[in-house]
Chains A and B, each alone.
Chain A
Amino acid sequence: MADEVRMTITVARVLRVFLDDVAQPRYGYELMRLTGYPSGKLYPVLARLERAGWLTKEIEDIDPAIEGRPARRLYRISADGIQAARLALAVLSEQLRLAPGTGRRLRPHGGLV
C-alpha cells in the first residue's frame, strides 16, 4: 500500500517539474538544478514520492562503456502520481490563496491535534 504524501512547498516544487512535462524522465542532479534544492533536501523528497507510488525509478538504458559515464537513475511521474499531484497542488494553491485569513483560525487545545 502506497504511503500518503504530505504536501509542502518543497514537495510541490519537485512535482511541478514533473507536471510541466509528464513524459519527460528526470535525474537527480537535473532536478537539483531545476528546483534549486541541494541533494540533501531533494533525495528524501524523491524517496517519499517513489514510496507513495507517485514517481517510478528506472535505470537509464545506455551502454556506460560507449557513453563514457554510468547509467543514471531516471524518475518518472506515474499515472496515479499525475492525478494525485494535480489535485494536491490545486489544494495547496487554494490553501495558500486563503493564507491571509488563516491567522484567525482555530487552534486546538495545546497543539494541533
Chain B
Amino acid sequence: MSAIWAVLLGLFGALVGAAFGDLFSEEVRARLGRVPAGIIRLAGRRLPADVQQAWTGEWLDELEYILRGAEAMPVTRLVRGTSFAISLFARGAPAIRRESTGRAPRERPPTRPAADASTLASFVPVLRKTELFRDVDEPVLLEIARRSSILDVSNSQPIFTQNEPSDAMFVLAKGTVRLVVHSADGRQIELARHTEPAVFGEFSLLDDSPRSASAEAVGPSRLLVLGRQALFDVLQNRQVVEALLRSLVEQIRHSDH
C-alpha cells in the first residue's frame, strides 16, 4: 500500500515540478528578454530630447525583430539582442548625441583690435619665438601684430571648425589649443596640441581649402588672428615670404623622414 502511495506521490511531484519548471523558465525568459530593451531605453536617455523618441522606438522595434525572429536559437537571439543594445548604449547613442550637439553653431568669439602700442609691442617677442617668424625683423613683426586682431577664448571655445572656410591664421600667444577631427561615427580624435608660442591654420589659408580639423581652446588662451588679406599684405615683405618658404621646406623634409 505504501509503495502505491509513494509512486502516486512521486508522479504528483513530477507533474508539479514540470509545471513549475515551465512557469519558471517562462518567467526567466520573459525577464531576460526585458534586459536588452532596458539597455536600449537607457541608450535613448543619452540622446538629445528632440531625437530621443524616434531613435528609441526604431531600436526597440528592431530589437523585437532580433528577439522574436525565426533565426537561430533563443539563447543566440538573446545574446544578439543584448549585444545590439549594449553597442547602442556604449557607442551609438553617444556618437549621435555628439553629432547633434556638434551641429549646433559654435562660433569663434569676436576678436578685438590691439588698440595700444604697448599691447602691440608685447606680441613681438611672442612672434619672434615662433618657428615661423623667428628670423623676421622686429619692425615687420610689429607690422604683423598691428594687422592682427586679438582673440581671447576660454576652455573648449572654438577657434575654427572642421570643414568651414579658412579665413585666418593664428598665433597662439598664451595658453593651449588642441586640434581635433570628428570621425564618421562621431568620435573625436585629437591630432595635435599646441602651447604658446605656436602658429597654426596658415596652410588652409594659403591654398584656400576648408579646415581639415577643428581647433579649440584648452583653458583660457590668447591668440593673434591674422586674416587672409592681412597675411597677403605682409607677404609683400621678403622676410615673411622666406619664412613661409622655409617653413614649407621644413615640413617637406619632416614628412620625408
Which residues of A pack against B, CB within 8 Å?
A: 3-4, 6-8, 10-11, 27-29, 32, 38-45, 47-48, 51, 68-73, 103-113
Contacts and interface: CB of A to CB of B under 8 A. Distances in A.
Contacts of A72: 61-62, 65
Nearest to A70: B61
Secondary structure at the B interface, as helix, strand, loop or mixed, is helix
A91 B122 CA distance: 47
Given A38-B84, A41-B92, A110-B198, 11 more contacts: A10-B185, A38-B91, A44-B92, A45-B184, A47-B99, A70-B60, A70-B61, A107-B251, A109-B132, A110-B200, A113-B166
Given A47-B96, A111-B192, A73 B61 contact: yes
A89 to B, nearest CB: 14
Contacts of B24: none
Interface of B: 55, 58-62, 64-66, 68, 83-85, 87-93, 95-96, 99, 103, 131-132, 160, 163, 166, 179, 181-186, 191-192, 194, 198-204, 211-213, 215, 247-248, 251-252, 254-256
Nearest first, the 5 closest Cβ-Cβ pairs linking A and B are A40-B91, A40-B87, A108-B203, A70-B61, A44-B95
- Counting chain B CB atoms within 10 Å of each CB, the highest count among A3, A39, A110, A113 belongs to A113
Contacts of A104: 255-256
Given A29-B66, A45-B184, A38 B83 contact: yes
Given A10-B185, A28-B58, A70-B64, A113 B212 contact: yes
Nearest to A28: B62
A73 B191 contact: no
Nearest to B51: A47
A10 B163 CA distance: 19
A110 B212 contact: no
A111 B184 contact: no
10 contacts: A10-B185, A27-B62, A32-B84, A43-B96, A45-B185, A68-B68, A108-B200, A109-B203, A113-B201, A113-B213
A113 B203 CA distance: 6
B66 A106 contact: no
A27 B84 CA distance: 14
A99 B212 CA distance: 18
A23 B160 CA distance: 40
Contact of A40 (B61, B92, B202): B92
Nearest to B210: A4
A11 B83 contact: no
B55 A3 contact: no
Nearest to A32: B84
Contacts of B68: 68-69
Nearest to B200: A110
A84 to B, nearest CB: 15
A39 B200 contact: no
Given A73-B61, A110-B200, A3 B92 contact: no
A45 B183 CA distance: 10
A55 to B, nearest CB: 13
Contacts of B61: 70-73
B191 A112 contact: yes
Contacts of A73: 58, 61-62
A10 B247 contact: no
A7 B215 CA distance: 20
